[in-house]
Amino acid sequence: MNNLEATVSKIDTLDNLNIVEFKFYDITLSMMSLDLHNVGIGTNVILTVKASNIAVAKEFQGQISLANSIACKIMDLEIGKLLTSIRLQHKNTIFTSIITSKSAKRMNLALDDNVNAIFKASELSIKEVVI
DSSP collapsed to 3 states, 29-84? EEEEECCCCCCCCCCEEEEEECHHHCEEECCCCCCCCCCEEEEEEEEEEEECCCEE
What is the spatial distance between Cα 2 and Cα 54, in angstroms, rounded to a whole number?
10
- The domain that holds 49 is classified in CATH as 2.40.50.100
Q: Is the CB of residue 71 less than 8 Å from the CB of residue 116? A: yes
Mean pLDDT of the chain: 96
What is the spatial distance between Cα 22 and Cα 128, in angstroms, rounded to a whole number?
14
What is the model's pLDDT at position 37?
A: 82
Convert the pLDDT of each residue in 86-120 to its tens digit: 999 999 999 999 999 999 999 999 999 999 999 99
Domain around 70: 2-130
Looking at the structure of the chain, the number of domains it has is 1
Convert the pLDDT of each residue in 20-45 to its tens digit: 999 999 999 999 999 888 899 999 99
Structure confidence at residue 129 as a pLDDT band (50, 70, 90): very high
Structure confidence at residue 48 as a pLDDT band (50, 70, 90): very high
Q: What is the pTM of this model?
A: 0.93
